[in-house]
Every structure is written in C-alpha cells, then in structure tokens.
Chain A
Amino acid sequence: QVNLLQSGAALVKPGASVRLSCKASGYTFTDYFLHWVKQSHGKSLEWIGYIHPDSDYTKYNENFKAKATLTVDKSTNTAFMDLNRLTSEDSAIYYCTTRRNYYGGYSLFDDWGQGVMVTVSS
C-alpha cells in the first residue's frame, strides 16, 4: 500500500526556516517525481515544485524559487522541502504528492501525503 507520511505540524517564528519531510513507502521511490503543493488557509492549491529522487533533478514554480529547496534522501525514501525566511504568507498546509499510475501521459497527482500545517507566528 502506497503511503506518503509527512512530518508533524510546525510552529515557527518569522524569519526562521523549516524543513518538512515526506517518507514514501509501498512503491519504488526513485521511479517517480515527487511534488509539493501549498494550500493557504481558505485558499486554493498552489504547485511549488518537484524533484526526481533518482537524479535529484528539480523544477520550481517561479513564485517559490527563492522560498523552497527540494531534496531527497534515497537511503530512507524521504523527500524534504526547506522553506526559508518565513513570513505569515507561508502559513499553510503543505502536501507532498506524486503520480505513480499511468494516465495517458498527463501530469497530475494521484497519491498524496496527509499534509502538514506550518504556522508562522512570533
């Protein structure tokens, strides 16, 4: 059974950084792109970027290039997202997600982590 297990909720101070984790199980971690998606409170979903765990190739939404850094640890099948210089605008739920099944070549998301809430507050 596929599972993307994300780290627990974080309360961080403005200006600080936070590392979120996403541990994959039930499939070959290095075979599929791993994406991150942000959901601000009461708002829509926003794609942050992806990483390919086998090559470490990354691609970012322009809006997050200066904010997020994606990495993986293949030895533990874990993906990480570092968010820096946090402000209240970064308070949100963050999901890791991937597409494992074939959907006619379309890029979409069919497995999701449970999401982790990041609260930026002094």
Chain B
Amino acid sequence: DIVLTQSPALAVSLGQRATISCRASESVRSSMHWYQHKSGQQPKLLMYGASKLASGVPARFSGSGSGTDFTFTIDPVEADDIATYYCQQSRNGYTFGAGTKLVL
C-alpha cells in the first residue's frame, strides 16, 4: 500500500499563510487530492490532481507537487479554515494521509 505522511498539526495565525505537506512512500504522479474535514461534518474535496481547485473552492487554496512530495497552501488563512486536512492518493488504490490539524 502507498503510505502518505503528513505532519499531525500546524499552528497558524489568521491572515497568514499555512502550508501543509504530504509525502508518498512511492510515486503517485499527480494523483493526489486534498480534503477539509471539520468535526461533526463530512469531508469536503478541495483540490484534485495535485493542483486543481474543486468547484466552488476559493482561490486562496492552492496545491502543488508531483511524484512523492506535495504541498497544500491556504493564503490567507481565515477562521473558517480551522479544520483537519487530509491528502488522498488514487494512483494505486485509495489511501489517505493521517491528517494535519490546523490550530490557531
């Protein structure tokens, strides 16, 4: 199975940039997607194909990377962005990272 490694938490300030990383145990090419998950809600797709915004997602969210190293950025961070963010690969099966919790 492809393992995705994320940092468990990231402290941010409102109005600043937040950068979340996701490293794959083997190349997933561009088959990396990002979700936002708030407590008590279902996950929400934000980014697909490493760098493409899902419909309706604000442009302050962005993504980059290919192969094994990926980055997801929120700039600027707003209060509503406080959540846990998961990367997910679909190159070989479906696996998720452990999630990065954004904290103020």
A interface, CB within 8 angstroms of B: 35, 43-47, 61, 95, 97, 101, 103-104, 106-110, 112-115
Are A44 and B90 within 8 A (Cβ)? Answer: no
B interface, CB within 8 angstroms of A: 31, 33, 35, 37, 42-45, 48-49, 52, 54-55, 86, 88, 90, 93-99
Interface centre among B31, B45, B49 (most CB of A within 10 A): B45
Q: Which residues of A contact B93 (CB under 8 A)?
A: 47, 61
Could you tell me the distance between the alpha carbons of A108 and B86 in the complex, rounded to whole angstroms?
12
Are B42 and A44 within 8 A (Cβ)? Answer: no
Could you tell me the distance between the alpha carbons of A35 and B90 in the complex, rounded to whole angstroms?
13
Could you tell me the distance between the alpha carbons of A101 and B57 in the complex, rounded to whole angstroms?
15
Interface centre among A47, A101, A109, A113 (most CB of B within 10 A): A109
